[in-house]
Amino acid sequence: EDFTFQFNPSLKYLQLIFDGRQLKPTTGWTVSPHKNPCLIRERDILGLGDNSTKTTIPPSCLVSIYAENSPHTVPNLSYSVPLKGVQEQMEIIINRPLRTMSSSDSGYSQALNISNLDAILTYLKEGNFPSSSWQDLGLKLGLNYDTTLKNIESNYSKVEDCLRECIAKWLQRADGVDAKGGATWTTLAKALEQCDSGRPSADHIIRRRKLRKSVDRSQNDEHELHD
């Protein structure tokens, strides 16, 4: 949702506060900014569209939101993020429903979240996946090129960091991730198999997670839809 604000002239930055007291229960949920403090400076906002800087992508702060697979997790998250650096008191409210899985879903298709990020990056490294192919993988996973992937490319200079943020956005189910099957080991292996340089990593994940049967079934289902 869009909103308007004015900077506090004595601070010249906008800070999102994530450690404030919450009025509504957040049991089972974790909200984590990717940088601390989470700042957006006035000069970066005012420089948007400036011909001298050639900046066309708005500054941003990436935030990971995930829920525990627990019966105690509250079904709807309402998380308040106060803003520091504005003239009038203001806060952003993050609203997110809990997405549940059917009882028929087996282990290989269970949804992944940001807590799986390290394991995924480890598997990709063990499978010799080239970090330089992060955009190709992101597209196969359902991320939007014009917004999400370009934003990552603008914010990070190293391909290793770009790959990490790409996987993080996938784990957050950004853009069209759910339309591609969501964030699961199966959909990750399938996307890697579709990348020119991703087959070794796909095979590695399939072996480690014992996915061959599920990946084969997923591919057969897709072929049936296209026939």
Residue 223 has pLDDT above 60, yes or no: no
Q: Quick one: which H or E segment has residue 189?
A: helix 185-194
Task: Please report the pLDDT score of residue 6 as a whole number.
Answer: 87
Predicted confidence (pLDDT) per residue in 143-164, tens digit: 999 989 999 999 999 999 999 9
- Across the chain, mean pLDDT equals 81
Predicted confidence (pLDDT) per residue in 68-117, tens digit: 767 788 889 999 999 999 998 899 999 988 765 443 344 445 688 998 99
Contact 97, 173 (CB under 8 A): no
Predicted confidence (pLDDT) per residue in 207-222, tens digit: 887 764 444 434 433 4
Contact 173, 141 (CB under 8 A): no
Task: Please report the pLDDT score of residue 97 as a whole number.
Answer: 86
Backbone angles phi, psi at 224, to 5 degrees: -65, -35
Domain architecture of the chain: domains with CATH: 13-97 (no CATH), 107-226 (1.10.533)
Task: Please report the pLDDT score of residue 16 as a whole number.
Answer: 92
Predicted confidence (pLDDT) per residue in 149-202, tens digit: 999 999 999 999 999 999 999 999 998 888 888 888 888 988 998 888 888 998
Give 9's Cβ-side CA count (13 Å radius): 0
- SS3 at position 52: coil
Q: pTM for the complete prediction?
A: 0.50
